[in-house]
Structure 1
């Protein structure tokens, strides 16, 4: 486990402001509204990993604003997750953020032990009213994923698209399905190769899987994991990014990316903690495009290279998604190769 800016509990408990935060219940106003919220992030992967990097970025932004005092641990194993949760709760953190996909039950048990701490956790499950201080979120960026699919469908010449994911869990499945729906809207004859590598961070394995898809005819790759765009770059084909914009690293490879903006999710939680109204809720809605939680990255080096009629459709659908006139279907079932 790698830990940054760790807190000394004894030193914290001897400070007046720290004691005020510890006795402040979620149902009451914070003693000092202007004080930064003591916040901890707990991540099972490096903060450079796509998904976690967006949470980390939003937390750093909130800290720069003065809203939170942020510390974090990365590379925490699922088996160690509950212990680290308790450690940060005992250290007086008022808000704890993280991702509990591999430690759901254990994390909820810890939250029950600390009712005055707000837990905002990435989860495949929903909130439980019986656990009012445990809220969930997920990256519902299917809107931008669908838009990136429209572009991918127009850029493939073989009609064969390869898709490499980490695990077939809802947060991944819904993005793949949205991407596929967009591609099929532009070209109904497209076929897909779908594979999961069983890891959130294994670039060599993702790259190897992508190579196999290229050998099997794919000329566009959906890079849900790191490593896929490397394979595309080496073989001279195109890739579509996910969660972060990597085009600066792959200027001749990555055409478009569906970007996740965690700021609306975290800012909502911060406001609720500040107001003393934080409660069990599904924060996934704040990842929707209409909430500012997702966007399509600029085409950059591919500006003018995507068919104009497709970009017109992308612009039209973007406005319709924001207005509510068009809804991207959320399908959490495991996608299959066609």
Structure 2
């Protein structure tokens, strides 16, 4: 995927886990070592946000050791108090550039869907600033369409997409293909539920078990809406059968590759616990095109999705990103 003059990796390092110690923490020395290893393995694109704790500041410090990194951060407007003007928008962009050391992709989130005029004005001003490309975050298809039809160039939209949340396939994907917009997909592994670890396991006690992360509490609700734990186990078993045919594959790798097979997906964002746990070797396999999910295997996966309520999530939750408004 081409962004800001660079062909970026198809796997981004997501730094949302720096927003809370619930995912684990590490000393700066281990973070630096892990960061270096990610770069050596060619995973040099990082996704963060203004509300992910110190993620921007930590990234800014770590990136000083390399001249080759890609910074995707966010500017999120959660209320109606922001006064739109060229000066104020420039100030917000300045803040993110200062905190990160340079922004390649600025992903804009706008809470109030009814206030279209200031939203469009901000997008226009970001594009006119020229210091970073404009991406969107959790914009539904209609909202994204209004931005595009205003003549504003949009490069990406970051939304949830996985085997459990297939909403981008139902509506947004077609619009993206028609308008040269790529999705940056998060939630691809459902907080780690789409993994070998959970195959054959009983339904977790998401509030009674201290090992359950904030992400897993969120994605457990998605699994319940999708079809429940028993059907989820059937999906894990099918993914395991696919992974078992090939060396070094796991359920997570197959689940991630399934998302990347969609033409409208530019990259997936996988949470990175800097200094805590390194998944870079698995990520190399995700992006290795010497293997693929066969047509027959895709059909097996689709047969399970057809048993689920996946196609009805758009009716329950709304289009992509609507659950956050």
Return the TM-score normalized by structure 2. Answer: 0.34
Structure with more helix by fraction = 2
TM-score, normalised with respect to structure 1: 0.33
Larger radius of gyration: 1
